[in-house]
Amino acid sequence: MKKLFGLILAVLLLAGAAFAISDLNEAPYLQSRYAKTNCDAQFSMADAMDLLAVDENASGINELIIEINSNLSALEGYADSGDKANYNSQAVATNASIGSLNAQIRNAIRTDMKGMANREKRVQLQQQHQANRTEFVECRKNSNLSFVLARVNSYGNIISAWVNKIQKYGDRNMDVAGMNQVIADAQTQVIAPLQSAYDSGDYNAAKDAVKTHCLYDGCDSGNFHFSARIEIAKMNAFMYAVQTAAGDFNMSAEWQQGIDSINAASEALNGINGAKYTEETRASVWDSIKACGETLRTMVQNMKGKGSDSE
């Protein structure tokens, strides 16, 4: 029993927060994001170079091309190093530069390419733009697929880490069936569809998959809410692990209070049905999880104190 109390107390130190194991290697995600941004940039710069070839008055956009290439170089460095904070900041600057370039291209075409005398040039630019767009679509297809693969690998790492952790709980003779079911559901409902989308090589399937299959809370719909699910299953396992002891120490009422809290969390999560959290729905789930954790923490501490008094 002392070993069990020690295990529960150690884990409860994190019970009030999402006890999800995260993939600390941000590089694959950032590299896939960089690939998308690079597609956007190359598309815009290709249009700019085509414009420069026929419009000497548009030479001012050279400065923006240089700026974008500089931003891309910095962005790629942050992606490769997994520096998410600096990447996000640099991405804002890079996207702003691309937007400015697109605006200047449109303005130059409106002002410099107007009139019948420039009709042939406008037709040429339109044809070149369509060719550039074809390359852009292919580029984005590959970048979307790389993002799906990064997500599959990241989620797989998280699940594998939890499988190892659950095994340790099982080694303590705890009932881990609930946690194992969460793992199985995550694999079939989230990871398998993402893997299928990647294996298909289909651009649209990949784009749709990342919007509708999120392990946590990142999709408009189709969120698995793994942190809450695994936490609920874990706390439920802990509660039933101490059920007999709770009766022995006259704490059955406290035990039922903890069970009621975790059941309330489960009911609230089921009601969300894969939608994104709102401030209210997040609180309805996590406040109940935290309440169960605090009840269990107090119970175990009191049991240990009473056990010491009787020794």
Q: Provide the residue ranges of all domains of the chain, joining segments of one domain with +.
A: 2-23+149-310, 27-145
- Please tell me the predicted confidence (pLDDT) of residue 16: 41
First to last CA, the chain: 14
Pick 130 or 309 by higher pLDDT.
130
Residues of the chain with pLDDT > 90, as a percent, come to 60
- Report pLDDT digits (tens) over 215-244: 999 898 999 999 999 999 999 999 999 999
Give the least confident one: 53-57, 240-244, 247-251, 287-291. 53-57
- Please tell me the predicted confidence (pLDDT) of residue 5: 63
Number of residues that make up the chain: 311
Instruction: Compute CA 77 distance to the chain's CA centroid, rounded to the nearest angstrom.
Output: 21
Average pLDDT over residues 121-139: 92
- Please tell me the predicted confidence (pLDDT) of residue 172: 83
Distance CA 120, CA 113 (A): 10
Average pLDDT over residues 94-115: 90
- Report pLDDT digits (tens) over 9-45: 655 544 444 444 444 467 878 888 899 999 999 999 9
Average pLDDT over residues 135-164: 89
How far from 205 is each of 193, 263, 294, CA to CA, in Å? 10, 36, 44
Global confidence as pTM: 0.74
- Report pLDDT digits (tens) over 274-285: 999 999 999 999
- Report pLDDT digits (tens) over 154-181: 899 899 999 999 998 888 888 999 999 9
Q: What is the mean pLDDT of the chain?
A: 88
Judge whether residue 304 has pLDDT over 50: yes
- Please tell me the predicted confidence (pLDDT) of residue 21: 41
pLDDT band at 104 (very low <50, low <70, confident <90, very high): very high
Residue 214 backbone dihedrals phi, psi, to 5 degrees = -115, 130
- Please tell me the predicted confidence (pLDDT) of residue 300: 86
Task: Give 95-149 as a DSSP string.
Answer: HHHHHHHHHHHHHHHHHHS-SGGGHHHHHHHHHHHHHHHHHHHHHHHHHHHHHHH
Residues of the chain with pLDDT > 70, as a percent, come to 90
- Report pLDDT digits (tens) over 179-213: 999 999 999 999 999 999 999 988 888 889 989 99
Judge whether residue 256 has pLDDT over 90: yes
Which residue has tokens 């940039």?
41
Q: How is residue 243 written in tokens?
A: 């059920």
Judge whether residue 58 has pLDDT over 90: no
DSSP 275: P
